Amino acid sequence: MTSEPARLSTGIDGLDSILHGGLIEERSYMVRGPPGAGKTILGFHFLLAGVERGERVLFINLEEDLDDLKANAASLGFETDDVDFLDLSPSADVFTEDESYDVFPTAEVEQQPLTEEIVERVRAVEPERVVVDPLTQLRYLTSGEYQFRKQVVGFMRFLQDQGATVLFTTQETDAVPTDDLQFISDGAVAFDIGSDGQFVSVPKFRGSPTRSGQHTFRIDDAGMHVYPELQPSDYAAEYALEPLPTGVPEVDDLLHGGIERGTTTIISGPTGVGKTTLGTQFTSAAADRGERSVIYLFEENEDTFLARSEAVGIPVAEMVERGTLHVEEVDALEQSPQEFAESVRDEVATNGTSIVMVDGVAGYRLTLQGRESQTNKHLHALGKYLNNVGVATILVDETAEFHSDFRATSENISYLADNVVFLRHLELQGELTKAIGILKKRTSDFERTLRPYGITSDGIEVGEPLTDLRGIMTGTPEIRDQK
Domain borders along the chain are: 7-229, 234-479
pLDDT tens readout for residues 215-243? 999 999 999 999 999 999 999 999 999 99
The one-letter amino acid at 460: I
pLDDT at 483 over 60: no
What pLDDT, on a 0 to 100 scale, did the predictor assign at position 319? 98
82 alpha-carbon distance from chain centroid: 32
Pairing of strands 57-61, 84-87: parallel
Q: Measured at the alpha carbon of residue 310, what is the angle toward residues 304 and 312, in degrees to the nearest 5?
A: 105
Q: What is 83-135 written as a DSSP string?
A: -EEEE----THHHHS--SS-SS--HHHHHHHHHHHHHHHHHHH--SEEEEETG
Q: What integer is the mean pLDDT of 435-439?
A: 94
Longest alpha-carbon distance in the chain: 111
pLDDT at 374 over 90: no
Q: Which of 368 and 113 is assigned the larger pLDDT?
A: 368
Contact present, 288 and 433 (Cβ < 8 Å): no
Contact present, 425 and 273 (Cβ < 8 Å): yes
Rounded Cα distance between 251 and 427, Å, is 22
Rounded Cα distance between 5 and 9, Å, is 13
The model's confidence at residue 143, banded by pLDDT at 50, 70 and 90, is low
pLDDT at 98 over 50: no
pLDDT at 163 over 80: yes
Mean pLDDT of the chain, nearest integer? 89
pLDDT tens readout for residues 59-71? 999 989 999 999 9
Conformation bin of residue 213: beta by default, left when phi > 0, alpha when psi is -120 to 50: left
Q: Which of 441 and 373 is assigned the larger pLDDT?
A: 441
pLDDT at 477 over 70: no
pLDDT at 188 over 50: yes
- pTM exceeds 0.75, yes or no: yes
Number of H helices, E strands in the chain: 14, 24
pLDDT at 103 over 50: no
What pLDDT, on a 0 to 100 scale, did the predictor assign at position 94? 41
Q: Which of 83 and 113 is assigned the larger pLDDT?
A: 83
Rounded Cα distance between 216 and 332, Å, is 17
The model's confidence at residue 482, banded by pLDDT at 50, 70 and 90, is low
Residue 302 CB coordination number (10 Å): 14
User: Architecture of 7-229 per CATH?
Assistant: 3-Layer(aba) Sandwich (3.40)
CATH class of 234-479: alpha beta
Rounded Cα distance between 103 and 94, Å, is 6
What pLDDT, on a 0 to 100 scale, did the predictor assign at position 438? 95
Q: What is 419-448 written as a DSSP string?
A: EEEEEEEEEETTEEEEEEEEEEESSS----
pLDDT tens readout for residues 44-54? 999 999 999 99
What pLDDT, on a 0 to 100 scale, did the predictor assign at position 214? 85
